[in-house]
């Protein structure tokens, strides 16, 4: 990665997060045997007004390097949980959501201990297994969020 994009990400990430340039999109995960959607994966997308699309492969390593990845993980988890809650309130079909975390956030479980997420789960009364956390390093490190 060139220093220009690295510096841009490092200097503009928090502003992009606050201004809505970073969004969560939901990519369907299909069950191989049935070819039907079994879950969605919550993914970050950065739509920058100056640079256009900034790819996750460009911004995630920078955020990990500058110790700001937890801000992205928090944003994605909060947004996905709110979306599930909204669908639940509107009696719309619910499909589980996989939330990828940085290895550090996953291992430390800091995100799960964050008071705002614990409160959101209690308030939203999420059904078990509606959201699962997975390390960006692979599905072998997976943890389910359960209603509490």
- Residues 41-79 have pLDDT tens digits of 999 999 999 999 999 999 999 999 999 999 999 999 999
Which pLDDT does position 25 carry in this prediction?
A: 96
What average pLDDT does range 127-135 have in this prediction? 54
Beta strands in 17-135 (DSSP E): 22-30, 37-48, 52-54, 97-101, 131-135
| Secondary structure element (H or E) that encloses residue 143, with its range | strand 142-145
């Amino acid at each position: 990665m060139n220093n220009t994009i690295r510096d841009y990400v490092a200097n503009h990430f928090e502003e992009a997060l606050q201004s809505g340039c970073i969004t969560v999109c939901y990519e369907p995960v299909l069950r191989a045997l049935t070819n039907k959607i079994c879950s969605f994966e919550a993914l970050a997308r950065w739509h920058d007004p100056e640079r256009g699309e900034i790819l996750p492969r460009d911004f995630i390593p920078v955020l990990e390097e500058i110790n700001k990845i937890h801000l992205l993980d928090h944003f994605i988890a909060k947004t996905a949980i709110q979306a599930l809650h909204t669908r639940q309130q509107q009696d719309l079909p619910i499909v589980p959501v996989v939330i990828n975390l940085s290895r550090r956030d996953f291992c430390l479980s800091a995100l799960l201990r964050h008071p705002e997420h614990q409160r959101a789960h209690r308030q939203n009364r999420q059904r078990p297994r509606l959201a699962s956390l997975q390390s960006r390093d692979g599905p072998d490190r997976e943890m389910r969020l359960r209603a509490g």
